[in-house]
Structure 1
């Protein structure tokens, strides 16, 4: 029996709740074989202002080649790529791979405010990676940044952004609206013809680190298993909602960490 194979090309999040760590856990939960190529190590903490350590292009290439040559992949997800050179390198590797199920999660800004994609790399993302994407999965802030416009603040804004993002080349656009205040957890998917709105009950919690990574990884897993894009997205949305609902509580949630981080840098400024 052929076992579905998935590869994530993304950053390593040392705290374990996001990035490659979240992707591999999601792959395991959804019964696919998961592999990884690490683009950078992210060690967000209160004592280092610079906490992103990128891998060399040779290291990224070696990891991707090792995964694809020894195992192969039915679906590939990209997450945090950080630099223009890494984006260009990954785009070439994906083109050479022949994999059609490519999920591009344009990781740009962490939940604690850390910049996870350099400003000068945004155009490279648009020009080199988006045209190869089966589905692009930005949150509202990332959607606005890709389009060089303001962050969507309503369902109508999200639909307009989805329409414009589709012009950049991806087959499908999924804009995640979890950050919108005063609304249920609403996402918008567009295939160039039909605009689909997906809604789940909003979970009242501060423990949402890695939600976007988990969402896109779940889509990748379902595509690897042969699901349709719409089916993959619906399954992934239900999966990530449950993951948020039952997330671990280490008593150091997002709000507390952000407040402590700001207080620390104020003291040493």
Structure 2
């Protein structure tokens, strides 16, 4: 009997009751990319497209139970983290990652929700830098998250490059600095691979507020591809195609920052630029 041959991937994150971000977005993305998705819930949120109304961290004992439950039955080939709430929960996740083999880890350092609600307490920043990032195969911060992690402004392309170098020094293999917050005509992300190869991924900028969960969706697509055995460079490119398509083929859900479209086709508008 064939057991555990289907690519399997897990998200370690918080939920989104509105379905556009967090664990829900991750699972939708895993399914769209034909990887079997699982979840370890670190926190629960009450939220919609207008914002986060409340959040509740899951007790660490129960997080331990979730890790143990998945490890004893499944063959997980990649993992990603999202909302981790606070220092205690970051440490809990790290201690569990030391005990299991869930494959390459994609860290999406979620800190602030679109509506401004803090999804990570300030006391957890140093723990992420010193304890979680050394486990990371890839980290995918946007500009505000990169600034918090490196401790200086990241507002230009040159600063994005320097931030990627400094994040690699923390033990991360590969880095993507997402440039969506740059005030430029086109959206550009900077990629620095473990080999030293670097390049930009450029796409057309779309004027829309339907961008809830973009970071979760991008990172979870990459994790799904890694679980399937896709190379890191190809996984990143597919991730960018996936999230660009999810934004281009917008949905009409809710009254605020609406979700992206997880059943959209891969976009053909992604361009790789080597300088």
TM-score (norm 2): 0.88
For residues 85-164 of structure 1, the aligned pairs below 5 Å read 85-150=88-153, 152-164=154-166
Question: Is the aligned partner of 1:38 residue 2:9?
Answer: no
User: Residue in 2 aligned with 1:169?
Assistant: 171
Q: How many Å apart are 1:47 and its aligned residue?
A: 11
**Inter-partner Cα distance in structure 2 for 1:215 and 1:9:** 15
Q: How many Å apart are 1:253 and its aligned residue?
A: 2.7
**Inter-partner Cα distance in structure 1 for 2:73 and 2:190:** 37
User: Residue in 2 aligned with 1:259?
Assistant: none
Structure 1 gap ranges (5+): 256-269
Q: How many Å apart are 1:70 and its aligned residue?
A: 1.5
| C-alpha spacing 1:50/1:253, structure 2 compared with 1 (3 Å) | closer
User: Residue in 2 aligned with 1:186?
Assistant: 188
**Inter-partner Cα distance in structure 1 for 2:233 and 2:81:** 19
Number of equivalent positions: 254
Alpha carbons 2:45, 2:52 under 8 Å: kept? no
For residues 175-254 of structure 1, the aligned pairs below 5 Å read 175-192=177-194, 193-250=196-253, 252-254=255-257
Structure 2 gap ranges (5+): 259-275
Alpha carbons 1:203, 1:241 under 8 Å: kept? no
**Inter-partner Cα distance in structure 2 for 1:46 and 1:153:** 27
- Report the secondary structure of 1:70's partner residue: coil
Q: Which moved more, 1:92-101 or 1:45-54?
A: 45-54
User: What are the superposed Cα offsets for residues 112-147 of structure 1, whole Å, 9 maximum, x if unpaired?
Assistant: 111011000000111110001000111111000011
Q: Which moved more, 1:42-51 or 1:61-70?
A: 42-51
Q: Which moved more, 1:62-71 or 1:160-169?
A: 62-71
| C-alpha spacing 1:187/1:49, structure 2 compared with 1 (3 Å) | closer
User: What are the superposed Cα offsets for residues 51-90 of structure 1, whole Å, 9 maximum, x if unpaired?
Assistant: 1111000111111221222213100101100111111111
**Inter-partner Cα distance in structure 2 for 1:35 and 1:242:** 24
RMSD value, Cα? 1.9
Picking from 81, 84, 88, the partner of 2:84 is 81
Q: Which moved more, 1:120-129 or 1:197-206?
A: 197-206
Q: How many Å apart are 1:94 and its aligned residue?
A: 1.2
Q: How many Å apart are 1:157 and its aligned residue?
A: 1.5
| C-alpha spacing 1:33/1:141, structure 2 compared with 1 (3 Å) | same
- Report the secondary structure of 1:111's partner residue: coil
Instruction: State the 4+ residue runs in structure 1 displaced beyond 2 angstroms.
Output: 44-50
| C-alpha spacing 1:45/1:203, structure 2 compared with 1 (3 Å) | closer
Q: How many Å apart are 1:46 and its aligned residue?
A: 10
